[in-house]
């Protein structure tokens, strides 16, 4: 049998660092229970994850959905991809690894909002199935609703509100989803919106109906 040398017998720096990290983390329980939060807001928390090609309508639907739900009495907040990249994820680029880290962080933040009892609307291209699955896992006990905005590439490129497709076609933008970077469509989304042939109002109406069914307003929110 081959004997391990000294270097092989010692844990590497990565595993030792991870072990020290694990030993130093002790999660703290909240003093406010999920049922108390539900009573305060009148509904359960959850994540509505909008995914689709650039210009498929994610930001537009997310912000309109937020306004509609707010008017109905829901406690809600939108995490938009560009907004998150302007702050929390400003240090990330668009390589595959950076895209995955972008969604990992966004998924963890969305999970915190949902755990706090809010409806968190997450609007991200999130092109990789594995990253969206990780976001669902991060949600833990909170409901996670994957919504696919199934607009085709031709429609999205024709819209091109930010001129990004044109820049990508010229080679001025690299790793642009739909052009030289892939988009993995959801295999089993919870809801599909055909935003290439539905009006914004029709898509928002479907989203509102879906959320009201999945997270019904059981009672009027408790007054502060």
Q: 99 by DSSP, 3-state: which? A: helix
Active site residue 220: no
Bridge partner residues of 144 (DSSP): 47
In the structure encoding, which two tokens stand for residue 72, read together? 């109905």
Q: Name the active-site residue from 126, 142, 203, 220.
A: 126
What is the C-alpha separation between 136 and 134, in angstroms, rounded?
Answer: 5
Bridge partner residues of 183 (DSSP): none
The answer for residues whose C-beta is within 8 angstroms of residue 145's C-beta and 6 or more apart is 46, 47, 48, 49, 190, 191, 210, 211, 214
Residues noted as catalytic: 126
């Amino acid at each position: 049998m081959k004997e391990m040398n000294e270097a092989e017998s010692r844990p590497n720096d990565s595993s030792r660092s991870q072990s020290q990290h694990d030993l130093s983390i002790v999660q703290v329980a909240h003093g406010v229970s999920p049922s108390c939060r539900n009573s305060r807001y009148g509904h359960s928390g959850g994540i509505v994850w909008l995914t689709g090609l650039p210009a498929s309508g994610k930001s537009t639907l997310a912000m309109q959905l937020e306004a509609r739900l707010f008017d109905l009495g829901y406690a809600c907040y939108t995490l938009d991809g560009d907004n998150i990249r302007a702050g929390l994820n400003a240090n990330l680029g668009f390589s595959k690894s950076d895209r995955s880290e972008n969604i990992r962080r966004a998924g963890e933040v969305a999970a915190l909002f949902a755990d706090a009892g809010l409806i968190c609307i997450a609007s991200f291209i999130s092109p990789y199935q594995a990253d969206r699955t990780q976001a669902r896992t991060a949600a833990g006990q909170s409901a996670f609703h994957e919504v696919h905005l199934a607009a085709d590439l031709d429609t999205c490129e024709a819209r091109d509100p930010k001129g990004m497709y044109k820049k990508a076609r010229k080679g001025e933008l690299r790793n642009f989803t739909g052009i030289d970077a892939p988009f993995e469509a959801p295999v089993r989304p919870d809801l599909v919106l055909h935003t290439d042939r539905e009006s914004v109002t029709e898509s928002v109406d479907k989203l509102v109906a879906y959320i009201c069914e999945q997270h019904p307003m059981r009672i009027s929110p408790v007054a502060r």
